[in-house]
Structure 1
Amino acid sequence: MSRFALAFFLATALPCFAQAQTTTDAAKADGKAFGKDIGAAAQSAATTQPNADRVPGYSGTPSQSGYFDDPKAMERAAASQASANTGYQTMRNSSASRATFSKVDLDAAIARSKTISEDPLSYTSGMTVGGTQGRCVLLPPASGTAARYKATCNTGYTVDSSTQSCTVTLQASVTTVTDYLYYCPKLDPECTAFDLATCRLTGSHPGKCLQGIDTPTGYKCFEPGDPIAEYTCSEPVAGLTPIRVTPRQVVTTTRDESQCASLAADANCTSPVETCSDSDPVTRTIDGYSITQPCWAWRRDYQCNRFTPAQDCTTLEQTPGCNLEQEYCLTDETPCRTFERVYDCPVPDQPQDPNQFICDGDVYCIDGSCETIQRQPNTEFKDAVVALNAMDQARREFDPNNLTLFKGTRESCSSKVFGILNCCKGKGFPLIPGIQLLVALGCSREEMLLHQKDVQGLCAYVGTYCSSSFLGVCLTKRKVYCCFESKLSRILQEQGRVQLNKPWDKPKTEQCLGFTIDEFARLDLSKMDFSEVYAEFTDAARLPDELQAATQIQQKIEDYYARARP
């Protein structure tokens, strides 16, 4: 290296090296100082008694500290915040309005899919070799039904009220007792000797006469002595001599109630009533003595009530597709002795869906070129028809006086709890023939008309209340319905009330009022299930059989080409 290069290196590199060395030393010194400070702070924190002032961000007593004394307050505060939170409400509304499917329908759809998947070629065949004719295969029949109804039954107790009787007899006996008569001056201290349970004061007489004279009519006393008390005792008094000992017969009568002991001890038997059942003769001879009594025996009647467990829910429990929705007490008694169970059940014996086919593609040919026509099913037609009909129904049922829509009529029917005759079975049960017989047995014509309306799907079940009870057991109940002009009106009311969060009122007070114009405007018809009325609309607007029409058109095209060939 030349001197010039060495000089240049020393002039440039050494100062930089020195500067780097100085920076490193400074960093080490700074690190040591920082470590020393941190160590001192850690040592101070470890040796200093903690307090609230040293907690970062702490200022006073936080409002949440009250939850330690009242944990339920946290739950109430959370519920209050949840009800006002937009996100929470959106989640709840979405959960409440989401589509639901019954287990029966899901099982039926899965079973149908499995049937097709086991032999798919039977349902999805290819085109024929000639390419001029398609093939349609019948799909497995669908099961289940969209129509459902509310069925009710009861559990609890029945009460049997009966009169049970027993006999009370009069038992008479004659015994001989001895009376001991004693005299005692009333001022004589010895009279305390007769303060016995076996002695009683039976009379008194004047004492020995102190002054008197003889008169032609006899001796007349002017100054009688102190009166003498007469005590009669049933046993001798020790140390005293009785004035007279007299035997006598005593008649004793007692009521023998042993036959009624079990009924008297039964808390379910109350209000005993006694009636003389043996009063002839009134005088009878017992042990040689005549004894007279107005009655010698009584019949005692008790009103007894027996509670027996009962239920009539077995049929609904064993019916496929019936789901228990709720159970509530029919009466206001405690403890409750009669419960109503509400089941959601499919309407039996409903017509099945019409046959459905899967077909090869239709083929259209011209000048030797053939194309397959792809068909897209229209699933919106039925919804459009129902929506239009709903608007037309709203126009017809609009009440200009009250500005309401779809007002119903309150109707009710009664039945005995656990009784055989039931005029309120509902649309799940066909109306048996012989209305006159049912009316004769106790069903009114109005109840029969209500049943017919319910079978036609015009009535919505509101609830049941107890109309008569005895000792807390409901004897007769009334089922309340709201009936409408059409099945569509009934569906709009039932499902519309769910969207509006406007449940039916209590059965005793429900008046079947209609929707206001504002309420109807808030309804989302697209979220309602109108499957009950689809068949009615499609039957009313059914076109000629599509498959037959397509076959006829294809045949006409083939005939045309056959005639046009040379």
Structure 2
Amino acid sequence: MMMKKILAALAFVASFSAFAAPDCQKTGTVCTAPNQTRNVSGLSVFRECWEYQDTYQCRSQNMVNDCQPLRDKGCSQIGSSCVERDDSGTCVMYEQKYNCPDKPETYTEKTVCDQSAFCQNGGAGCFDTSAPPDKDFGQAAVMMEAAREAGVYGIDPNKVEIFKGYMEECSIKVLGGTTLKSCCKSAGGGAAFSNYALLGAGMKAAGEAGRESIVLGSKYMYDSLYGQLDSSLVDKGLGAMNSWASGLGDGVFNPQFGFYGFTFEFTFANGFQFVGFDPYSFALSVAIMLVQEWLSCDSAEQVMAMKRGQNLCVHIETYCSKKVLKVCVEKKERHCCFNSKLAKIINRQGRAQLGMPMNSCGGFNQAQLQALDFSRIDLSEFIADIVPKDVPASTMSNRVQQTVNKKVQSYYDQ
């Protein structure tokens, strides 16, 4: 009977060590007193292990905040959300959202002394030059581009694909709340993949034939960045550029050329034709354009970084994709990415206007598009891209001087 009481007491002592702080996780156990016979109340008792040493990994109570660099840049916090909770429901990792200016604020003071009237013939024929610029120009240009994109990329009235986006993900390596490696940053170089720039690069290899069609390639579309997700975008984008070629008749000049992994063929009868896509050449072209920091991110994340650099993506959510010992070691961000900035604006604001779920990237069918009230959509982000910027006075003066010199030279060369 005495032996049973002793063993019960030992079992109680052994089980007591299993309790630990709620913020700690047991990671290992090592026997520090193995295979010994000990005297317990006058009795010799043999046990394979008398003492154990447990190792625990505990979560620090001190919160780690890595947002100070954003505040130092003048960013303002616009939101906060919990991305990880422990078993008790306590939030252990927050995602803070900041709105950051593209460039620091600057203030310029100008004194304009120009007269508001221009006169000819010694005072006759005067007219007022002080009228403000037409603010409706940008809005009209946007609506024309919106109609063009809807016609090119949304061809089936029964399918939900007008101004649609693509759900993409990127990863962030974290440890203890600290970001070790982020593949969710934005990167430059995406401007080289606009429809206009891509075909322009091709013409350098193919010669001057068909260069007029480059003018029809939209500077605001980035179909080539979506070749791995939806190659049909490239076909649709090229189709909008080829209408000029159909009336030129058959020609013998039909070169085939490639760049950035895309292969095209040109004929006077059919214009540009998309022949094929090589994902390996595309991935290599993208990798060369990015800095060494991005080499640890996969090709899809690298391309997504270029899309974000052109403001083509919208953040949807962040979630923990990998845990070790109940601690998040990798997060993933989901973004809706679009092949134009205008498509992004209309999709996100249009879905909100129609009460559609905001965690989806789907586009609109014909009926939904017609139900949108475009007067309530803020298009200022896209208007800023198409309204001409101020031209420096020195540049304008040089252009005028060059024009005068050219006209004078042409006069004497006659």
| Structure 2 length-normalised TM | 0.55
Residues 109-120 of structure 1 aligned to structure 2 (within 5 Å): none
Q: Given that residues 324 and 343 in structure 1 are in contact (C-alpha distance below 8 angstroms), is that contact kept between their aligned partners in structure 2?
A: yes
Residues 228-267 of structure 1 aligned to structure 2 (within 5 Å): 266-267=21-22
SS of residue paired to 2:321: strand
Q: Given that residues 263 and 302 in structure 1 are in contact (C-alpha distance below 8 angstroms), is that contact kept between their aligned partners in structure 2?
A: no
Task: Quote the Cα distance in structure 1 between the aligned partners of 2:295 and 2:126.
Answer: 71
Give the match for residue 412 of structure 1.
Answer: 169
How far has the Cα of 1:476 moved from its partner?
Answer: 2.0
- Alignment counterpart, residue 60 of structure 2, candidates 296, 307, 310: 307
Question: Measured at CA, do residues 388 and 479 of structure 1 come closer, stay the same or move farther in structure 2, by a change above 3 Å?
Answer: same
How big is each residue's C-alpha offset from its partner over 1:14-63, in whole Å with a ceiling of 9 and x where there is no partner? Answer: xxxxxxxxxxxxxxxxxxxxxxxxxxxxxxxxxxxxxxxxxxxxxxxxxx
SS of residue paired to 1:425: coil
Instruction: Answer yes or no: is 1:364 the counterpart of 2:122.
Output: no
Question: Measured at CA, do residues 545 and 394 of structure 1 come closer, stay the same or move farther in structure 2, by a change above 3 Å?
Answer: farther
Gaps of 5+ in 1: 1-196, 199-253, 556-566
Question: Measured at CA, do residues 299 and 520 of structure 1 come closer, stay the same or move farther in structure 2, by a change above 3 Å?
Answer: same
Question: Measured at CA, do residues 381 and 351 of structure 1 come closer, stay the same or move farther in structure 2, by a change above 3 Å?
Answer: farther
How far has the Cα of 1:500 moved from its partner?
Answer: 2.5
Task: Quote the Cα distance in structure 2 between the aligned partners of 1:501 and 1:493.
Answer: 12
Question: Measured at CA, do residues 306 and 433 of structure 1 come closer, stay the same or move farther in structure 2, by a change above 3 Å?
Answer: farther
Residues 427-438 of structure 1 aligned to structure 2 (within 5 Å): 435=290, 437-438=292-293
Instruction: Answer yes or no: is 1:329 the counterpart of 2:69.
Output: no
Residues 156-171 of structure 1 aligned to structure 2 (within 5 Å): none
Task: Quote the Cα distance in structure 1 between the aligned partners of 2:325 and 2:365.
Answer: 43
Task: Quote the Cα distance in structure 1 between the aligned partners of 2:188 and 2:104.
Answer: 9
Give the match for residue 388 of structure 1.
Answer: 144
Greater share of residues in strand:
1
Give the match for residue 398 of structure 1.
Answer: 154
Question: Measured at CA, do residues 545 and 485 of structure 1 come closer, stay the same or move farther in structure 2, by a change above 3 Å?
Answer: farther
How far has the Cα of 1:423 moved from its partner?
Answer: 0.8
Q: Given that residues 263 and 269 in structure 1 are in contact (C-alpha distance below 8 angstroms), is that contact kept between their aligned partners in structure 2?
A: no
Instruction: Answer yes or no: is 1:497 the counterpart of 2:351.
Output: yes
SS of residue paired to 1:485: coil
Instruction: Answer yes or no: is 1:456 the counterpart of 2:310.
Output: yes
Instruction: Answer yes or no: is 1:344 the counterpart of 2:198.
Output: no
Q: Given that residues 458 and 485 in structure 1 are in contact (C-alpha distance below 8 angstroms), is that contact kept between their aligned partners in structure 2?
A: yes
Residues 181-220 of structure 1 aligned to structure 2 (within 5 Å): none
Higher gyration radius (CA): 1
How big is each residue's C-alpha offset from its partner over 1:162-196, in whole Å with a ceiling of 9 and x where there is no partner? Answer: xxxxxxxxxxxxxxxxxxxxxxxxxxxxxxxxxxx
Task: Quote the Cα distance in structure 2 between the aligned partners of 1:351 and 1:486.
Answer: 29
How far has the Cα of 1:494 moved from its partner?
Answer: 2.4
Task: Quote the Cα distance in structure 1 between the aligned partners of 2:381 and 2:115.
Answer: 31
Task: Quote the Cα distance in structure 2 between the aligned partners of 1:362 and 1:546.
Answer: 24
Give the match for residue 445 of structure 1.
Answer: 299
How far has the Cα of 1:306 moved from its partner?
Answer: 2.6
- Alignment counterpart, residue 316 of structure 1, candidates 53, 59, 70: 70
Q: Structure 2 counterpart of 1:307, which letter? A: S
How far has the Cα of 1:451 moved from its partner?
Answer: 0.5
- How many correspondences in the alignment? 287
SS of residue paired to 1:382: helix
- Alignment counterpart, residue 422 of structure 1, candidates 182, 187, 194: 182
How big is each residue's C-alpha offset from its partner over 1:239-259, in whole Å with a ceiling of 9 and x where there is no partner? Answer: xxxxxxxxxxxxxxx98x999
- Alignment counterpart, residue 479 of structure 1, candidates 326, 330, 333: 333
Identical aligned residues as a percent: 26
Residues 534-545 of structure 1 aligned to structure 2 (within 5 Å): 534-539=383-388
Question: Measured at CA, do residues 269 and 444 of structure 1 come closer, stay the same or move farther in structure 2, by a change above 3 Å?
Answer: closer
Gaps of 5+ in 2: 3-8, 191-285, 405-414
Q: Given that residues 79 and 96 in structure 2 are in contact (C-alpha distance below 8 angstroms), is that contact kept between their aligned partners in structure 1?
A: yes
Task: Quote the Cα distance in structure 2 between the aligned partners of 1:539 and 1:260.
Answer: 76
SS of residue paired to 2:59: strand
Give the match for residue 364 of structure 2.
Answer: 515
Task: Quote the Cα distance in structure 2 between the aligned partners of 1:523 and 1:420.
Answer: 43
Q: Given that residues 404 and 517 in structure 1 are in contact (C-alpha distance below 8 angstroms), is that contact kept between their aligned partners in structure 2?
A: no
How big is each residue's C-alpha offset from its partner over 1:268-321, in whole Å with a ceiling of 9 and x where there is no partner? Answer: 354874536544xx689x9xxxx794657544334433334222222233432x
Q: Given that residues 276 and 295 in structure 1 are in contact (C-alpha distance below 8 angstroms), is that contact kept between their aligned partners in structure 2?
A: no
How far has the Cα of 1:410 moved from its partner?
Answer: 1.0
How far has the Cα of 1:459 moved from its partner?
Answer: 1.4
How big is each residue's C-alpha offset from its partner over 1:459-512, in whole Å with a ceiling of 9 and x where there is no partner? Answer: 12222122234676543221111111111111211222333333412xxxx3x1
How big is each residue's C-alpha offset from its partner over 1:534-564, in whole Å with a ceiling of 9 and x where there is no partner? Answer: 3432459x9x999769x99xx9xxxxxxxxx
SS of residue paired to 1:407: coil
Q: Given that residues 403 and 516 in structure 1 are in contact (C-alpha distance below 8 angstroms), is that contact kept between their aligned partners in structure 2?
A: yes
How far has the Cα of 1:412 moved from its partner?
Answer: 0.7
Give the match for residue 247 of structure 1.
Answer: none
